Amino acid sequence: MIKAGIIGATGYAGAELVRILTTHPKAEIAAISSVSFEGKAISEIYPAFFGLNDMVCENAEGVVEKSDVVFAALPHGLSQELGAECIIQGKVFVDLGADFRLESEEEYAEWYGGKFLDKGLHEQAVYGLPELFRDEIKGKKLIANPGCYTTCSPLAIAPAVKGGFVEAKGIICDCKSGVTGAGRKPTQGNHFPELNEGFHAYKVASHRHTPEIEQTLSRLSGEKMTVTFVPHLLPVNRGILATVYADIKEGVSFDQIRQAYEEFYKDEYFVRLLPSGAAADIHNVRCSNFCDISLHFDKRANKLIACGAIDNMIKGAAGQAVQNMNIVFGLDEKTGLEFIPPAF
């Protein structure tokens, strides 16, 4: 059994890791930690775990020592030293935060206000979006686990970009997120009376996930890409819906694009390319590691409209992290992740 440790276990992503790994057939949770709730059982914080997982939160050092793989579900800026210690001790480190996602230190400084503490360590990190970079993930020790927007948007448009079917300029990622994406700590913005019966854009043209989306698409296309990314906050708990608009190149048909998507994702269990006429819906991926994609053609404007839907806490966080663990340890990627979304 793989011994897994979770640092930041009482946040939403950390709690999902606890839920998934508690029943994982090839892994067991060795230890969990929480700065805010050290000394308390996880079932005190989340009563849904009562009698199923009553592990007590300890300090981070103990988690690293007891584990083969360490998951860090922490805000940005807190994972670099932790990742370095895991590598020194020969542990696999899966970072659900942003510290290792960006390849450029200049972009990290610009968008996060930090710096690379150890450039050599960052060179060891691989970007953990399995459907796009699986071969790079295999056998690695330091995985930068993508977030929700940066999983859903690239998966929705990846085959079109990689195949050169759409123009590199003018791509728009119009995204909506459930409120769990803002984290567990209450703020004015996710306070129920402020959120309920409302719907608004936020951090318009300034969200930190912008350079990450561009980095992924640039790697796929082989040229520097710039996107317009606008996130919105939905009054729901879970889900990401990414609607990505791109101009189709002259001489390319929508049928060609559809065929390219079918070929690109034909062996990907967690990506479901929906039949023509259907539209991706966050309702249909809740509590699962699936990404549903629907393709649409605006004939009048000659635009591809690709819609992607994921559960932001699973495929956009904890589920993908476990998928990465499965790859690193040579397991079937689906192990412990074959959740069927609730029908209603």
Q: Tokens 């069927």 label which residue?
A: 340
Instruction: Judge whether 272 lies within some domain.
Output: yes
DSSP state letter for 316: I
Instruction: Judge whether 278 lies within some domain.
Output: yes
- Identify whether residues 139 and 260 lie together within a single domain: no
- 271-273 and 291-298 as β-strands: parallel, antiparallel, unpaired? parallel
Q: Over 90: is that where the pLDDT of 2 sits?
A: yes
- Identify whether residues 120 and 77 lie together within a single domain: yes
- Identify whether residues 179 and 98 lie together within a single domain: no
Q: Give strand pairing partners of 295.
A: 306
Q: Tokens 């906050």 label which residue?
A: 233
Q: How confident is the model at residue 111 (pLDDT cuts 50, 70, 90)?
A: very high
List strands edge to edge, sheet with 271-273: 200-201, 228-233, 172-177, 240-247, 303-310, 291-298, 271-273
Give per-residue pLDDT as tens, 116-170: 999 999 999 999 999 999 999 999 999 999 999 999 999 999 999 999 999 999 9
Nearest to 1, CA basis, from 324, 333, 329: 329
Instruction: Judge whether 339 lies within some domain.
Output: no
* Predicted local confidence at residue 192, as pLDDT: 87
- Identify whether residues 172 and 219 lie together within a single domain: yes
Give per-residue pLDDT as tens, 28-87: 999 999 998 999 999 999 999 999 999 999 999 999 999 999 999 998 888 999 999 999
Range of the domain at 35: 2-146+315-328
Quote the CA–CA distance of 296 and 156 in Å, as a whole number. Answer: 11
Q: Is 59 helix (H, G, I), strand (E, B) or coil?
A: coil
The residue type at 7: I
Angle value at C-alpha 317, between 258 and 160, nearest 5 degrees:
20
> Residue 113's domain is classified under what CATH number?
3.40.50.720
Instruction: Judge whether 245 lies within some domain.
Output: yes
- Identify whether residues 157 and 258 lie together within a single domain: yes
Quote the CA–CA distance of 129 and 316 in Å, as a whole number. Answer: 10
- Based on the structure, what is the number of domains in the chain? 2
Q: Over 90: is that where the pLDDT of 185 sits?
A: no
Instruction: Judge whether 344 lies within some domain.
Output: no
- Identify whether residues 138 and 155 lie together within a single domain: no
Quote the CA–CA distance of 124 and 250 in Å, as a whole number. Answer: 40
Instruction: Judge whether 92 lies within some domain.
Output: yes
What tokens appear for 138 in the block? 């295999």
- Identify whether residues 74 and 188 lie together within a single domain: no
The residues that are catalytic are: 148
Q: Over 90: is that where the pLDDT of 183 sits?
A: no
> Residue 153's domain is classified under what CATH number?
3.30.360.10
